[in-house]
Amino acid sequence: MTTQQSQLSPLVIKLGGTLLESDKALAALFTTLKTFFDESGRPLLLVHGGGVLVDNQLKAMGLTSTKKDGLRVTPFDQIPVIAGALAGTANKLLLAQAIAHGINSVGLCLADGGLCRVSQLDPELGAVGQIEGGDATLVSTLLQGGFLPVVSSIGITFDGQLMNVNADQAATAIAEILDADLVMLSDVSGILDGKGQRIAELNEADALELMKQNIIKDGMAVKVKAALKATKTLGKPVAVGSWRYPEQLLSLLAGESECGTRISH
Ligand SMILES: Nc1ncnc2c1ncn2[C@@H]1O[C@H](COP(=O)(O)OP(=O)(O)O)[C@@H](O)[C@H]1O
Ligand SMILES: CC(=O)N[C@@H](CCC(=O)OP(=O)(O)O)C(=O)O
């Protein structure tokens, strides 16, 4: 990496949805990420979810799971299984893709190097964490070294309790800690209006109205609320788009507006 490249602001990409279930989609995405990584020279960090893997793992063990306002209720006796699915399987599947595409990467969770300070969000949700600041030192060192950090949304509280953090909230918090640009990739082409059409630009007032009308709901409401907070802290828009169209990804990552939804306040 040249001096000029290392001065470019980092880009945080959040990966979610059913991506981890498709080797073909993963390979296409990492082919594009490798091109972007090499050509832009920008420091890049991935934050990932894996809610579908968690669902499958809990089901395979005969356990049930519910969500409240888009967040998984996480009984304390389920957190070892959920941490295994997210910080273990999901994280290492992504690391494997990075390695197979020639990207030198490091798998982390929110607790590594004190990246994110995590505390319990709401006793009713059990082992679900919220992030209040953190320390960029370790990750900045990795980015400067040309590594791709791949971060799962498992955190650890000060007293050593594993916590399940929503991955959108994790991604926005990390973007804030690094003062980075943020792109969130999901199953959908962007945020959709009441007619199922992609919304190109979404401001806070319109987002709040669409949430009130229950047009933006469930996991997307969690994502939009987290993105709105991040746009204020970062002073720049946050993009929500799809990992399904690798041909559109480079323009989305470059901040062009013909695909996805740009959220601003
Ligand atoms: N207005 C909306 N526009 C797009 N998706 C929406 C909307 N409201 C709810 N959703 C749902 O939110 C999902 C994306 O949120 P989520 O499943 O949490 O994604 P991810 O796993 O990528 O974080 C979509 O697949 C869709 O089912
Ligand atoms: C508290 C909470 O809801 N945690 C999420 C963490 C994973 C996640 O957010 O995954 P996606 O990005 O794929 O949705 C969960 O257990 O599903």
CA of 47 to the centre of ligand 1 (A): 17
CA dist., res. 170 & res. 186, Å (int): 15
Q: If pLDDT is split at 50, 70 and 90, which confidence band does 6 have?
A: low
- Is pTM, for the whole model, over 0.90? yes
Residue 198: which of 182, 180, 186, 213 has the closest Cα?
Answer: 186
Is the distance from the beta carbon of residue 191 to the nearest atom of ligand 1 less than 6 Å? Answer: yes
CATH code of the domain in which 55 resides: 3.40.1160.10
pLDDT of residue 255: 78
Ligand showing the shortest atom-to-Cα distance for residue 82: 2
| Among 51, 190, 219, 260, the one annotated catalytic | 51
Q: What token pair was written down for 224?
A: 């939009």
CA trace torsion 124, 163, 71, 244 (10° rounding):
-170
Q: Which atom of ligand 2 sits closest to the CA of residue 72?
A: 3
AA identity, residue 261: T
Domain count within the chain: 1
Paired tokens of 233 = 């802290």
Q: Which residue has the higher pLDDT, 265 or 223?
A: 223
Of 118, 97, 95, nearest in space to 108 by CA = 95
Categorise residue 30: left if φ over 0, alpha if ψ from -120 to 50, beta otherwise.
alpha
Taking residues 188-203, what's their average pLDDT?
Answer: 96
**29-84 tens-digit pLDDT:** 999 999 999 999 999 999 999 999 999 999 999 999 999 999 999 999 999 999 99
Give the phi and the psi of residue 93 in degrees, each rounded to 5: -60, -40
76: tokens are: 């304390």
Nearest-CA residue for atom 17 of ligand 1? 219
Active site residue 122: no
Range of the domain at 215: 3-263
Distance CA 242, CA 11 (A): 16
Q: Are 204 and 210 in contact (CB under 8 A)?
A: no
